[in-house]
Structures are given as structure tokens and as C-alpha cells.
């Protein structure tokens, strides 16, 4: 019905949910309650992280890659690989 607002819950998580809506809500598939170590490190960094390198134990997830890129991290390194700033946000990798 034109002009009629859908209830927020239906609009975000129902079968007609818009792309990108609802996935970050508790109880929805893919929702992660944890704060990953990378984001925790950014939140507790004692100084500006712009231009910094992050050393981690495993490849970073997409959420951490976005957070690190937004925080100005230019390189992330783990035992079997690394991303430079471009690869951190290259979703084809």
C-alpha cells in the first residue's frame, strides 16, 4: 500500500528486507556478539593509529578489515599473510 510504513522489524528482517538490513541485529544469522581482538586493540590504542601496522594471529574478518582501514591502519600482518591498505578493503580478495 503506497505511503504505508512497514513495522521496523518487518522492514529490517522480514522476507522483503532491504539489502544490508537486519544482519547486525542480535538473533539474526551472521550476527556476532563478540568484539574481535582487532577492534578491541583499536579501541584501546594509546595513540593515534593512523599509519600503523597491526600484527595478528589469523587473517582478519571483513568487519575488522573495515574497522582497521577506517582507523588509518596501513598494513595488517599475520603468520601466513598480510594486507596492505588497498587489500584491506579489496573485497575480491
Is the CB of 64 or the CB of 71 nearer to Zn ion?
64
Interacting positions 26-45 with Zn ion (CB under 5 A): 36
Catalytic residue selected from 14, 15, 38, 50: 38
**For the chain, what's the residue count?**
93
83 sits in the region (left: phi over 0; alpha: psi -120 to 50; else beta) called beta
Nearest distance from C-beta of residue 34 to Zn ion, angstroms? 8
Q: How far is the CB of 86 from Zn ion (least distance, A)?
A: 19
Residue 64 interacting with Zn ion (CB under 5 A): yes
Of 14 and 31, which has the nearer Cβ to Zn ion? Answer: 31
Q: How far apart are the first and last CA of the chain?
A: 42
26-52 residues labelled b (16+ CB within 10 A) or e (exposed): eeeeeeeeeeeebbebbeeeeeebeeb
The residues that are catalytic are 38
Binding site for Zn ion (CB under 5 A): 36, 61, 64
Amino acid at each position: 500500500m503506497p505511503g504505508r510504513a512497514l513495522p521496523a522489524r518487518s522492514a529490517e528482517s522480514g522476507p522483503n528486507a532491504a539489502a544490508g538490513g537486519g544482519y547486525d541485529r542480535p538473533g539474526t544469522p551472521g550476527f556476532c556478539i563478540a568484539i574481535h581482538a582487532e577492534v578491541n586493540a583499536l579501541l584501546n590504542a594509546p595513540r593515534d593509529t593512523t599509519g600503523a601496522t597491526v600484527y595478528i594471529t589469523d587473517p582478519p574478518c571483513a568487519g575488522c578489515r573495515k574497522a582497521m582501514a577506517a582507523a588509518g591502519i596501513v598494513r595488517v600482518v599475520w603468520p601466513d599473510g598480510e594486507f596492505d591498505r588497498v587489500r584491506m578493503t579489496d573485497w575480491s580478495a
